[in-house]
Chain A
Amino acid sequence: MHGVKRVRYSREALEAKKQKEQAKLKEYLSLNDDVLAKRNAGDWSKDAFDLTTRVLHANAEFYTVWNYRRDILINSIFPNSSPSEVHDRIGDELSVTTSLLKQHPKVYGIWNHRRWCLANIPDGPSDTDLDGWRKTIWNKELYVVEKMLDADARNFHAWNYRRYVLANMPMKRPAQAELVYTTRKIEANFSNFSAWHQRSKVLTSLWEGGQLDPHKSKEEEFDLVKNAMYTDPGDQSVWIYHRWLVGAGNAYDILQREIASIQELLDEQPDSKWCMESLVFYKRLLLRHHARQLSEADRLSLTQECLRLLTGLQDIDPNRRQRYEDLAADVKKIN
């Protein structure tokens, strides 16, 4: 159970609450018994189907009832329906799940049923347009999932579903459109790491597919991140994304430039943990990958700078003191 406030009841109030709950309990138990009895008897009637709707509205996590509902659809309703009726039925199923998702946006079983619906759209509307229904319904899914992400921009069920739709829809959307979507989500809230994550996936595929020039596009990303860092240097989403952009740190010039830029921010915000932590990380990348381009004096000063920052981090971020001690020991050992 998540986020349910504890309420303290007096004995009388508790008794009253129990009384009130009794009616609900009785109703639920009879629904529960009915639906399981029908399921055990292999009842695939319209009544049984309607009963599953009622049970699922009372308890959307009841996976056995979702399974039973699909059994009725597959074994009884679909075989006795025309393709157009099956199409309408899928539409009804999607509506049921939409209204349930509004109440329970994090219930796996509802999202799962939606995926099952999409996989069961019949061919049609005609012999010459076999994918027509599929295209229309799948396209609408993106709209539904955007509504869900408007309500909770971090809902990972919704993001996973979004990626599933994008990857499987019959008429693919250009990946550029998804990049635009993540920009919109990030600009609405820099802390939305889910959107940054999605962006890293979309950009990777655009770079690999040759649809974007990696060099130019990375520079734009560095600008975006810098803007976010300066807006709220305490927001870890941005720093994690920045680490992805720098990657293995093979580009010496970029590494030096980013170090300088973070140093500048640290000068303005001398207590910024993320500036310090990132500086240690990037300076260590310099030492590890570019030692030959550095003078002996450079290497020594980088090492000392790392150790100084790690000492500072132990003070301002004591929760992770041991990690900073371990890193310092490592820096000393290597250099």
Chain B
Amino acid sequence: MSSSTSKLLIPLHVQYIQSLGESKDDLLYHLTAHLRMNAIYWGLTALNIMQHKDALSRTEMIDFVVSCWDDEAGAFGAHPDHDAHLHATLSAIQILIMQDALDRVDVDRVVKFILSLQQPSGVFAGDQWGEVDTRFLYCAVNALSLLGRLHELDVEKTVGYLRQCRNFDGGFGAVAGAESHAAMVFVCTAALAILDRLDEIDQETLGWWLAERQLPNGGLNGRPEKLEDVCYSFWVLSSMSILKKIRWVDADKLIGFILSAQETEHGGIADRPGDQPDVFHTHFGVAGLSLLGYPGLADLDPVYCMPAKIIERMGLRRDWEALPRKTE
């Protein structure tokens, strides 16, 4: 590893995130329009954690979010003229909360949209077309909680579905019967944390399964016998923080792995060393580093995947534990 990647290159990553909105002559920028709202949430959260929350224009961002409102559905799409979707809606709410502009949302309509997507089994669909999985269940629980409307959710029904997704290895899958996968473990664990139902988890077994995600090079994979990837740093670590078992992986080696996936010329973090960076992995890499106590970063709330300070201020903090913040 070269000396230039032994540190988190904060100014470079800030620049990288700023540059993303200016790459409009880049085909990839347009091919990912269906993820724009999520990308802004990833970028803004990473900036918050790197303590540069004002690096993007607040007014422009809020205007963009509002321009994605789908008035027919009563929720947000990922981009103007794109259909409303639960995932984009959660990102929109998270952005507006970080920008202290939640008054721009018709909360009643959004709540109605979210609740209308719960299926008889308890799982949530992502939109009216009915694709279901635990990611959408988490989006719903998280958004309702952020909006202060969790009491309108049928908690028993929701937890009942999560129970069906639990596997013998302690993990959770995307739907009932599916194989455990670190990203789905995160959404299910975080949803149960929000619902105060962590007793549904076999914590010893899940802690073991999560600890076994770390590979000899320090990186984490998402399932047994798969390759490491920076984004799993967050999916695995957030779950471990919630279970208070984050010490069960080697933090220094994982920090080294995340840092080695940095692009050192133009900024950004990739899925693994040598690959093309993107805002998704930049965000989840920085989020992972924050949970590992990397110096100079702000605390990230692993349950909501937002700045911990904001979640605390809203009175929503759950009982999780990250590694103590190191000093330089």
Binding site for B on A (CB under 8 A): 1-6, 8, 18, 21-22, 24-25, 28-29, 32, 36, 39-40, 58-59, 61-64, 66-67, 70, 108, 112, 115-116, 154, 156, 159-160, 163, 167, 191-194, 197-198, 200-201, 235-237, 240, 243-244, 318-323, 326
Contacts and interface: CB of A to CB of B under 8 A. Distances in A.
B225 A64 contact: no
Interface residues of B, number: 59
Interface of B: 25-27, 30-31, 33-35, 77-78, 81-83, 85, 127, 129-131, 167-169, 173-175, 177-181, 207-209, 211-212, 214, 216, 218, 223-226, 229, 245, 247-250, 253, 263, 265, 270-271, 274-278, 280-281
Nearest 9 A/B pairs, CB to CB: A323-B248, A319-B250, A322-B247, A191-B225, A4-B276, A193-B224, A197-B179, A112-B131, A64-B82
B160 to A, nearest CB: 18
B275 A201 contact: no
B177 A163 contact: yes
B167 A197 contact: yes
Contacts of B78: 63
B49 to A, nearest CB: 21
B25 A4 contact: no
B225 A235 contact: yes
A165 to B, nearest CB: 12
B169 A6 contact: no
5 contacts: A6-B276, A154-B223, A163-B177, A197-B167, A197-B180
Nearest to B271: A2
B224 A63 contact: no
Contacts of A61: 31, 34-35
A32 B30 CA distance: 9
Nearest to A29: B30
B25 A5 contact: no
Contacts, number: 142
Contacts of A243: 168-169
A198 B175 CA distance: 13
Contact of A236 (B25, B26, B225, B263): B225
A70 B34 contact: no
Given A25-B30, A63-B34, A159-B178, A322 B85 contact: no
Contact of B181 (A4, A36, A156, A318): A156
Contacts of A25: 25-27, 30
A5 B85 contact: no
A323 B211 contact: yes
A204 B16 CA distance: 50
B278 to A, nearest CB: 4
Contacts of A21: 26-27
Given A8-B265, A62-B33, A323-B247, 19 more contacts: A1-B281, A2-B229, A6-B263, A6-B275, A21-B27, A25-B30, A58-B31, A63-B78, A64-B82, A154-B223, A159-B179, A160-B175, A160-B177, A193-B224, A194-B223, A197-B179, A318-B250, A320-B212, A320-B248
Nearest to A200: B168
Contacts of A167: 177
A71 to B, nearest CB: 10
A160 B248 contact: no
A1 B271 contact: yes
Contacts of A318: 250
A1 B276 CA distance: 8
Nearest to B80: A36
A111 to B, nearest CB: 9
Contacts of A159: 178-179
